[in-house]
Every structure is written in structure tokens, then in C-alpha cells.
Structure 1
């Protein structure tokens, strides 16, 4: 709430849903939609999601993304109904090992991140907020962390390959490999809100 990300849906003076909206450059990330159990299946989640998309559009976002756990069938149906399309798999959990690698700077860092984003079609999770995954530019990633190369490129708590990082802290990656404790598989969904940037 302090960061201005939290939104609530109110019906008859009662909070019926909560969610968050994170803006990164021209991208928006919808996070943590929760609807009161007794009101699920009545359109509250869809209405809240559509409101967040309009809010993101109003605030200048041209694309919105969100993550859905692979097992969450109702959420998959909801986001597809609203118009989101699946883009890629994201994995998260506790990594098996720390990154002890060569860290890059300046042009070398920009080139490595640009090449990696080309492979991921411009999507990545944030180095400092690994559960916020959206369309980003190399500069947006580099402003949040320094990329390093091990067997794959990683930047902060997100890896374009195998999971690398502090074994006691959550990380996300584009690979199933490298986890000591892996959570469920997530699907990253995206929807275009305006002309491409």
C-alpha cells in the first residue's frame, strides 16, 4: 500500500477482492488477485482484472503480464477470458548454489542482457523483485542489478538459465534446473494494451 500498488474491490461497503499493479516503464504486472471464497465464480475476479488493465492503460502501459501457477485451472480460465495469452514458463524456488561467477559491466553487460531478452522475447523477472515478471528493456534490468555469467546469465535473483543465488532466498528462472527446492511451475501471460513500444 505504501508503494501505491494495492487495489481493493468493494461491494456493498465490503472488500471482496484485492490485487496489486506494478508499473515498470511501459509494462504493467498484475499481482496477487484474491477474491473472497464465497464470491468466486461471480465475476468479481474478472471485473477486478479488467479494472486493473484499464488502470494500467490509463497510466501509460502498453503491455500487461501476470503469472499463474500451472495447477490453478480457474485462474487460467479467467485470464484467457480477459484476453491474456501464454508466453513462457517461469520457475521459482530456492537455488541449490550461490552464483560465483564473472559479473559484467557497461557495454558487455548491455549486450549480454539484450541477447538474453531476445531469446525470451523481451520478458524477464526483475532482479530485485523476482516474482514480478514482465516485458522489460535491457536498461530497466540493468538499473536494478548487475548481470553475471556462470553457466547462464543471471541478474540479481532472476536467471535466464539455471537457478543461481543465495540458497535461502527465492529466485526465479527460465529453467527447471538448479533448484534445491522448486515451487510449482508458473505460466507467464501477456496482453497488449496499446501500440507496441
Structure 2
């Protein structure tokens, strides 16, 4: 019998490169689902490690919260291994093509789109600012939101590089994330979890 739907974290390690600089990073890869099927959020660095965590379950989709290379590096390989489609917001296409020039995403993420895995809804929230097509994924039944690099423990994601803007990310967080219930757990793209209530004081006012 299948157990309850849950969020599972897989930490993978590699590099992030943009604007001529490269950094070592650890990424959170999230599996949302049950014992039978999962949705993979951000296929970072290591397709083999993610496949091992999937452990034979059906992968319904590989969702990319944004197109930075540390979040999409293993997406094409994981898609080939599992047969799952890769979903990405169209505003991230330039970033995607810099990493995977010969392989396009299979479908576009759009604001308000509903994905389903293991019988639960996953709502796509377009939250630009860290990059123009950054998206968060709200799972009401889990009381959780997966924010990629838009919101972290301690505040907004970075905006000092190409395709990013600080006022835009703050506006996205205020309008799309801080409006969620305060107890909503924030599963981030790097580092530890937080909650919506805990981050309200860390977001610049309009």
C-alpha cells in the first residue's frame, strides 16, 4: 500500500557558473510524491544520485524552478533515464540553451498551472526576480512551497547577476509567497527550510 505524499530532499554537489564566474554549490533536489510516483524539482548536478533516490518510482515530470546551470545540469540526462518530460518557464530559454543547446524543454511552465502527482495538486507560481522565469511550486496538501532560489531562510535569493532584479524579486515574494499561510514550510533550492511567517520580516517593503 502506498504511503502518504511527502517531500524528499536529495542534496547534490557541483558548480554554478554565470557572468564569467564559477562557484562550488550544494543544491537541494526535491521529490514530491508517494511510493509509486514522484515529481522531481530541479535536477541538479548528478542524475545518478537523483535516479537512486527515485528508486524505481515513476517520474511524472522534471520541473525546473529556473534555468541556472546548477538547477538544470542533470535534467536532460534524468529525462532520458526516466522518460519524464522537462518543464521550464519560457523566459528561461536563454539560460537553458547555454547548458543544453541541442535539447529543448518538453513543455512550458505557466503561472497558475496545476500539475498533479500521486493525487495531489502542485500549483505553479511565477515569481520572477532571481531570474525572469523563476517559478515556485505550492503544494497545499503538504502545507509547503518549493521556492528554488527565490526565497531562502533569511530572505530573498540573489539578484546581483544577469537576468535578475532586486525590486522584482521582493515584489514577487510579497505578492505570491507572503500571501500563503504563515505556517507554510518553504523548501528552498539551497540550504535549510524555513516558513512563510519566519521570512515576512526579511522581505523589503514596497
Give TM-score, length-normalised by structure 1: 0.30
Structure with the larger RCO, 1 or 2 (CA within 8 Å, 6+ apart): 1
Larger Rg: 1
